[in-house]
A and B are shown apart, each in its own frame.
Chain A
Amino acid sequence: MAELTSGKGPLFMDPDADAARAFFRQKKGALTDKVMSVQEAVSRFVRDGDYLASGGFGTNRIATAALHEILRQGKRDLGFAGHTTTHDFQILASGNRNGHQLLARVDAAYIVGLEARGLSPQARRVMQSGEVDVCEWTNYALACRLRAAASGIPFMPVRNMLGTETFTYSAAKEIVCPFTGRKLLAVPALYPDVSLIHVHESDCYGNSRIKGITVADLDLARASRRLILTTERIVSHDEIRHTPYATDIPAFCVDAVCEAPYGSYPGNMPGEYFSDEAHLRKWLEAEQDEQNLDDFLRMYIYDVPNFEGYLQRCGGLERIGSLRAQEVFSRRG
């Protein structure tokens, strides 16, 4: 067999399972009420220099309310896991403007694009400037890094990326399978400092449910040192106890529960509301010009006190109502 090689990309986070175990040992199973505002959760649990990950899939079931709050609070020097991050990445990339650096390190599987909608000019400016350290991955590789962390092991073997520059610029390593002698790739466990996940329902302790595809969020919730949940609704603890098979994330992984109705807007929330394509288009257009973007961000994020203020400026319940109709009556939409 040819010599084994290693990716030359930076490894931003320690994959050591014992260090993670020592941390997780302090997270307790006792049920404590974790309901708080998004402002309080971001202020308490997101620290400058942290490595952050966000759940959902770009414009689908994203924790918009918490992402905006990170911008408003002027957090800086963050690392970020970009596994099909689209609008969420676009929001955070807005924090790298006018001398402020919100994003400093990015594990990139899918960044700067919004799928069929095109590329984000602001995210491209940030990622083409050279000011952000980047390590390349794929969606499956990042999902497996979270799965390794959630499993409490330091790496996962995978069979993708081999032979490509996606591997060359990653921090993965070629290994030999101890059973078959075949070449494999080892991807290191990723334990984010803090993660944001938007769910459909949670009780006040953080026992929560996702209705629809879970993407990588079941592993992300378990891999994260601290976890902020935003939720469409808070449900009773009894409801969780009655249907434990419906629980996706158990309370002992969770640090904050923030009630955020329509909290994935302008993203899609399965069964609740479709994405606001007109608003997403407006955002992309505003990014064409940096002065326009400043005005746009002031109007929608910096000059409103919270996510409710943003929703009001986007048309409030009337707008949400039409997106709900698109989602629920999708055959007519």
Chain B
Amino acid sequence: MAEYGAMELMICVASRLLEDGATVGVGTGAPCATAMLAQKTHAPDLFIVFEAGGLAPRLPSMPISVGDSRTFYRALMATSMCDALEACQRGMVDYTFLGGAQIDAYGNLNSTVIGDYAKPRVRFPGSGGANDFASFCWRTLVMTQHDRRRFVEQVDFLTTPGYLTGPGAREAAGLPEGCGPYKVITDLAVMGFDAASKRMQVESLHPGVNFAQVQDQTGFELLKAPEVTETEPPATDELRILREEVDPYRYIIGR
């Protein structure tokens, strides 16, 4: 079996969730690499939406910014931020792929501050397009490292909506109906959300990882899906394309 790093595993596993022909709003960093890998393997017609205005590019190499010229290379359209995000607001975008500094059991994300808002210990960038994508796209996918600093009982600042406080909370707040977190892909496991409680549940464990280890790295109580499987490791082809074509300079997989 091929050797692979934790980030390589996350990207390969995440890319399989994007089916050919799907529309996906992509955030900066690892989600870019994931969408590009999907496009170069099983989903050549993946319709990538970049918030800065690139629609359906054929990515020649991994964008460094979600607004650089690669994001509209051989694209169908180079348009505006409003046009791109309004495609999401009117319901035309299936997935969004995001990162985040902190996440809670309902998939709420923090990318704004750690500590007190008025004089924060750490100021992060803020929402950017993350709140927009997660408010509007049907299914939110999150990729992040799995540790207790990131997986917390309560986020320091709720930047981007997951299921908020539980079932029905998004709709009560006025967000579009029927959207929300779908999968969380980490270096330990793939998690989904329990249909009744909208809380995070482990669905597959990466090779060599057990449930107790995942729980130990999580600051809230994790649920278990009725059937917990083992994650299919990266295939040789996936790894080759990821290393040679998607991220040859190891911007992301070198982390």
Contact = CB atoms under 8 A, between A and B. Distances in A.
A163 B159 CA distance: 10
Given A165-B158, A213-B78, A330-B60, A116 B174 contact: no
Interface stretch (A21-29, A132-140, A291-299): A132-140
A130 B119 contact: yes
B131 interface: yes
B124 A182 contact: no
**Chain B CB within 10 Å, residue with most, of A57, A140, A162:** A140
Contacts of B28: 115-116
A163 to B, nearest CB: 3
B175 interface: yes
Contacts of A108: 126
Interface stretch (B46-54, B139-147, B204-212, B236-244): B46-54
A58 B175 contact: no
B136 interface: yes
B65 A86 contact: yes
Interface in A29-82: 56-60, 82
A239 interface: no
Interface in A145-200: 147, 158-166, 169, 174, 182-185
Given A165-B159, A166-B158, A214-B53, A60 B82 contact: no
Contacts of A59: 64-65, 67-68
Contacts of B125: 110-113, 119
Nearest to B134: A160
Contacts of B81: 83, 139-140, 143, 215-216
Contacts of A230: none
B155 to A, nearest CB: 9
Nearest to A211: B78
A188 B154 CA distance: 30
Contact of B80 (A113, A159, A216): A216
Interface string A322-333: 000001001101
Sort chain B's interface into a size bin.
Answer: 35 or more
Contacts of B251: 116
Contact of A160 (B54, B122, B135): B135
Contacts of B85: 139-140, 143
B86 to A, nearest CB: 8
Contacts of A270: 69, 72, 78
A219 interface: yes
Interface stretch (A12-20, A254-262, A271-279, A305-313): A271-279
A140 B137 CA distance: 13
Contact of B127 (A130, A137, A218): A137
Nearest to A217: B80
Given A166-B160, A330-B60, A214 B173 contact: no
A207 interface: no
Given A115-B28, A139-B132, A159-B176, A164 B64 contact: no
Contacts of B160: 164, 166
A1 to B, nearest CB: 9
A163 B173 contact: yes
B185 to A, nearest CB: 18
B159 A219 contact: no
B39 interface: no
Nearest to A174: B174
A91 interface: no
B252 A116 contact: yes
Contacts of B135: 159-162
Contacts of A141: 132
Contacts of A165: 112, 157-159
Nearest to B27: A115
Given A212-B69, A216-B80, A330-B70, A109 B126 contact: yes
A160 B120 CA distance: 24
Contacts of B65: 57-60, 86, 115-116, 268, 275
A162 B132 contact: no
Interface in B69-115: 69-73, 78-82, 85, 89, 108, 112
A174 B167 CA distance: 21
Given A111-B125, A184-B174, A215-B53, A166 B131 contact: yes
Nearest to A182: B174
B69 A214 contact: no
A153 B51 CA distance: 24
A271 B68 CA distance: 11
Nearest to B156: A165
B131 A164 contact: yes
Interface of A: 2, 56-60, 82-84, 86, 108-113, 115-117, 119, 124, 127-130, 136-141, 143-144, 147, 158-166, 169, 174, 182-185, 212-219, 268, 270-271, 274-275, 277, 327, 330-331, 333
17 contacts: A108-B126, A127-B120, A127-B123, A128-B123, A138-B132, A139-B81, A140-B85, A141-B132, A143-B82, A163-B170, A164-B158, A213-B54, A214-B78, A216-B81, A268-B68, A330-B69, A333-B61
Given A138-B128, A163-B174, A270-B69, 11 more contacts: A84-B67, A110-B129, A115-B29, A124-B122, A140-B132, A143-B80, A164-B159, A212-B78, A213-B71, A215-B80, A275-B65
Instruction: Name the 8 nearest CB pairs between A and B, nearest first.
Output: A163-B173, A57-B67, A183-B174, A213-B53, A113-B125, A110-B128, A140-B132, A160-B135
